[in-house]
Chain A
């Protein structure tokens, strides 16, 4: 590419050109889609980002890859910093969303108490977790979002525990909105962002975010991998209103999950019990089907 060619991007777009994110990074796609959703809604935002790849994305002072006001918080604190910041926005009747943009380490692990407290208080913020199932920024350690069988630098023989069900935890807080988003389904992804932007109170969005570096996968496979995860039931795509009304957005189509594991070198073939995986996926979908039966 000609480096002197004028950029086709708006300087004020959410994720600006020139960032150093990895090829095939799901977080980059998520940020771009968030920016588009904000533009479409005629909305703006401030980001609060804890320690994670998302704050590395910003780049070095005084430049920034974010086209919006962005505040770095300590690892566990993004929902609390956002609570204080959004409180002053609301006291002054100012526009714009306050959005926490956090990885799974900051969400499932170190920040869980802070997130739970912000949800219990129904803070007027949007919390988005880009879940790449690993501590990516530090070179690939297990988190409680890492799925069973995945090899990380701290589970060299494969993780023996399963992935924490963060959606059930968040839905149990009865917050106005909780949803899972897959970038293999961009229309649904955009619809859910639009839904979240149209509401007030605590909104929690979980993005299945491919990470070629941590997943030991090919960058061009990123979207295909999360597509298989949805189609096979590994990553259910649904939304929960007020912790009560469940709606399944995209149903699995019977695709076998085997392909998902084969195409990521974080999974060694003999570490994955495919029968057990199929059973868990089916049980999870049955539960969601039951929960969603009474959706109006």
Chain B
């Protein structure tokens, strides 16, 4: 174990590579890789890694990157890749297939604005576009969390009670290119944490079986139900994977939601990724002045941790949901799921949406302050509020 100052991309590359290497005594590892800013450094790291039993396939597109990864996974290998933004959009058909094939592939997504207009900065709209597929999704706020969550994702995805692919996400540049102090596990510890992959439905070269052909409606329905059942098992299995992580590596990779000051909070901010880092500091300062406010960071977005969120907001009267994404025609995606989580439980809870940090705008302490000011002055929730832009004046001609 060593402590290094590394970027989020470096952390992701290290986690993916050591996880792949940990399967060297079984069927090995393989991945398809393709560059796109700002995740390119991840696949560059993977391409340089001296795998004992692995193959890195530099392909011609993201669509094929996931296809190669799928082929390797069906053959029983530990398989992974990384992408971002329009690359994820191009890859989408095969991302969906990986989920419906129940392949425990792990992908790192660096959250970058979908274009046009051309924009390389942070926005969660790319990975959230994949929200309805059978993938687990985690949003991280620094290099350490990226590294830990990616390793945990393999163990969780490969658990026979789950068998679903997982996506670890980080904000473009703010995490992907920012160096922070990170504890790097030794390969031997990664080996201990990630046992040889045993994919129960992997294809054997001598069996008579067709996968992915026609299934009649009722069989298709059963497969969808099995996905739903696996998703419902995730919260419990996550805690097992988290405990085992602590046992092996000696640190807590963090819960599916992370709270700060929520125990007595009247007003709660719900945020994800690096927005949570900034919001936590604002909350810390204001609580020091006696304000009863708190923060809920949503780390696991799929499956959505509704129970944990409701519990964390037990004392809240008003909730502000910060979304670094916008689902056209509705509002923020975290907001939609937060509202759904409280429906039928606390229908009168004021839940207000703030669209902030989209297209790479900065979410500063001042922006968080504006959100809290708006929230505290409200008698009821309204339409999503666009932060940092005067919607009465600034429109494109």
A interface, CB within 8 angstroms of B = 11-12, 44, 46, 48, 55-56, 58-62, 64, 66-74, 76-77, 80-92, 94-96, 113-114, 116-117, 121
CA distance A85 to B61 in the complex (A): 18
Nearest to A56 among chain B residues (CB) is B214
Task: Give chain B residues whose Cβ lies under 8 Å from the Cβ of A12.
Answer: 208
Since A71-B203, A83-B68, A86-B71 are in contact, a sample of 7 more A-B pairs with Cβ atoms closer than 8 Å, ordered by chain A residue number, is A69-B204, A71-B212, A74-B94, A77-B64, A77-B94, A83-B57, A83-B59
Task: Give chain A residues whose Cβ lies under 8 Å from the Cβ of B360.
Answer: none
Q: Is the CB of B210 within 8 A of A91?
A: no
9-residue interface stretch from B26-34, B152-160, B298-306, B310-318? B26-34
Q: Is the CB of B210 within 8 A of A84?
A: no
Q: Given A67-B208, A77-B67, A114-B64, are A92 and B74 neighbors across the interface (CB < 8 Å)?
A: no
B interface, CB within 8 angstroms of A = 27-28, 30, 32, 53-55, 57-61, 63-64, 67-77, 79, 93-94, 97, 203-216, 219
Nearest to B24 among chain A residues (CB) is A91
CA distance A76 to B64 in the complex (A): 8
Kindly name the residue among A44, A59, A83, A88 whose own CB sees the greatest number of chain B CB atoms within 10 A: A88
Question: Nearest-CB distance from B165 to chain A (Å)?
Answer: 14
Q: Given A56-B214, A84-B73, are A64 and B32 neighbors across the interface (CB < 8 Å)?
A: no
Task: Give chain B residues whose Cβ lies under 8 Å from the Cβ of A113.
Answer: 60-61, 64
Question: A80 contacts which of B67, B76, B219 (Cβ < 8 Å)?
Answer: B67
Question: Nearest-CB distance from B327 to chain A (Å)?
Answer: 25
| Interface residue SS majority, chain B | mixed
What are 11 contact pairs spanning A and B, CB under 8 A?
A12-B208, A44-B205, A60-B219, A64-B210, A72-B213, A83-B68, A84-B30, A84-B75, A87-B30, A88-B30, A91-B77
Q: Is the CB of A88 within 8 A of B213?
A: no
Nearest to B77 among chain A residues (CB) is A88
Task: Give chain A residues whose Cβ lies under 8 Å from the Cβ of B60.
Answer: 113-114, 116-117
Question: Nearest-CB distance from B71 to chain A (Å)?
Answer: 3
CA distance A92 to B75 in the complex (A): 10
Task: Give chain B residues whose Cβ lies under 8 Å from the Cβ of A83.
Answer: 32, 57, 59, 67-68, 71
